[in-house]
Amino acid sequence: MPLFGNSFSPKKTPPRKWASLSNLHLLDRSTREVELGLEYGTPTMNLAGQSLKFENGHWVSESGSFVGDRRELQRLRKRNQQLEEENNLLRLKVDILLDMLSETTAESHLMEKELEELKQYSRRKK
């Protein structure tokens, strides 16, 4: 037994009570949705004057008329393809120009080196 007693002896914590006394967690999903009001319905949005709803992983028009939109969509896809082809062509041209620039730079450095060697050679002869 220590002289001054045990200065640190924490008491044992009591066991915790169950967090929830509600039995809603025991119910199936549909009953919980009715009880708790979790039925939100399908997500909808209004975009550019057109009402769209989300069904089966896709946004669908609520009015069901996509005839004008399909033509516009087809035109935009064609324009997008043209722009992608133009972009690829421009990237190819930039690559060619960079290759030409590096080749010209390398030739320039070689010529400068040869010129410097010729200057040193002519100085030695004199």
State pLDDT tens for residues 72-115.
888 989 999 999 999 999 999 999 999 999 999 999 999 999 99
Domain span at residue 38? Answer: 26-63
pLDDT value of residue 95: 96
Question: Quick one: 113 and 88 in the same domain?
Answer: yes
Q: How many domains does the chain have?
A: 2
Q: Residue 95 and residue 103: Cα distance in Å, rounded?
A: 12
Q: What is the pLDDT of residue 57?
A: 82
Contact indicator for 43, 54 with CB cutoff of 8 Å: yes
Point out the least confidently predicted range of 10-14, 16-20, 91-95, 115-119: 16-20
In this structure, are 72 and 57 located in the same domain?
Answer: no
80: in domain: yes
Please choose, from the candidates 58, 98, 4, 7, the residue with its C-alpha nearest in 3D space to the C-alpha of residue 66. 58
3-state secondary structure of 109: helix
Residues 32 and 76 in one domain: no
Domain membership flag for residue 5: no
